[in-house]
Structure 1
Amino acid sequence: MRLRRASLFLSLLLATAAALPALADSVIEIDAPYARSAGPTAMTGAAYLVIRNTGDTDDVLTDVRSDAAARVELHSSTMGDDGLMRMEHLEDGLPVPAGSEVILMQGGRHVMFMGLAGPFEQGKTIPLTLVFDQAGEMKVEVPVDLERMPGAMDHAN
């Protein structure tokens, strides 16, 4: 009888220990999201936000989805040798190391909306799903702020 109890206790202990790494996975927080487009007839728009990984496991933002556009992708804007800005699709996703924050901002990394389903209107929200390798899917309502100046991140939230 004692052997059976000890065996049961050991099994429960091992099962609990096996679950601990899942508890240590990345813990993702989203801060200061906003979206904008060039105007009411624009066919493209962008979203910017801060991704904070407060966990002890690296994560990767692997996909972005929204019904607000025909195509939604992670992009990075960089200055070319010729002095022109170039946008590239981040096909491998966006790493979010443990204990760090990644800022998506105008002139840098951002969520790109192509083939807008409708105009981005001041004060409205855009539904956005962020898909992380470790943290899974996170749904975010992104407020449209057509008045925000480039580089102005609101960390009040």
Structure 2
Amino acid sequence: MTVLSPRARRLVAAGAFLPLVLAGCSAGSTAPGRSADAVTVTDQWVKAADSGMSAGFGELRNTGGTPVTVVSATSPAAGRLELHEVVPDADGAMVMRPKDGGFAIPAGGALTLRPGGDHLMFMELGTPLRTGSTTEVVLTFADGSSTTFSAQVRDFAGAQEEYAPGHGA
């Protein structure tokens, strides 16, 4: 029986693994990229709230060569999360409503989630969102891939929009 030193065992293991790594990196690969691999999330934060609802914001940047669409989101902080937009109603008042079709992020572009605009609506909060804490958010894309990020909870007094009729909590 041959006994290998720890260094020799590492080299053998690396030699067995290297072809697998190189196969995944070949220039001729035709496998499509996952949306989650092309999207980065920066400046992410969630509005502090004791109960009920809150909202999440940040910048979603698509570094890929094709458009991607966020179709849903989840967080352990909320019973449900909705993708929302703020639009004028028939009387010109700004109202929140679910974003039909999700959040589209153009190839090589970005989408800013901001107060008074597109945002993540945290509904049915399970526990208070306290300033300085963080919460995880999972974004799911149209291709089924997903990405997880942490968002800091911050105080914010603005953006007290109303719901569009029929879309309240």
TM norm. shorter chain > 0.5? yes
1:118 equivalent in alignment to 2:163: no
| Whole-angstrom distance in 2 between the partners of 1:24 and 1:123 | 32
1:129 equivalent in alignment to 2:134: no
Aligned partners of 1:72 and 1:113 also within 8 Å: yes
Matches within 5 A, 1:39-58: 39-40=49-50, 42-58=51-67
Matches within 5 A, 1:87-98: 87-98=96-107
Q: 1:105 aligns with which of 96, 111, 114?
A: 114
Aligned partners of 1:60 and 1:94 also within 8 Å: yes
Aligned partners of 2:77 and 2:135 also within 8 Å: yes
Q: 1:61 aligns with which of 61, 70, 78?
A: 70
Q: TM-score, normalised by structure 2?
A: 0.70
Q: Which residue number in structure 2 is paired with residue 22 of structure 1?
A: 32
Q: Which runs of 5+ in 2 are unaligned?
A: 1-22, 160-169
Q: Which residue number in structure 1 is paired with residue 89 of structure 2?
A: 80
- 4+ runs deviating over 4 angstroms: 23-26, 147-150
- Give 1:32's aligned amino acid: D
Q: What SS class does the counterpart of residue 70 from structure 1 fall into?
A: strand
> How many residues in Structure 1 have an aligned counterpart in Structure 2?
134
| Whole-angstrom distance in 2 between the partners of 1:24 and 1:71 | 25
Aligned partners of 2:64 and 2:107 also within 8 Å: yes
The alpha carbon displacement at 1:118 in A equals 0.9
Q: Which has the larger radius of gyration?
A: 2
Note the alpha carbon deviations across 1:7-64, whole angstroms, 9 max, x for none.
xxxxx9xx963x2452596611111000004x42x30000001000011011111110
The alpha carbon displacement at 1:71 in A equals 1.3
Q: What SS class does the counterpart of residue 128 from structure 1 fall into?
A: strand
- Structure 1 vs Structure 2 CA RMSD: 2.5
- Give 1:110's aligned amino acid: H
Note the alpha carbon deviations across 1:82-137, whole angstroms, 9 max, x for none.
13221111242111110100000000000001110011100001110011234821
Q: Which runs of 5+ in 1 are unaligned?
A: 1-11, 151-157
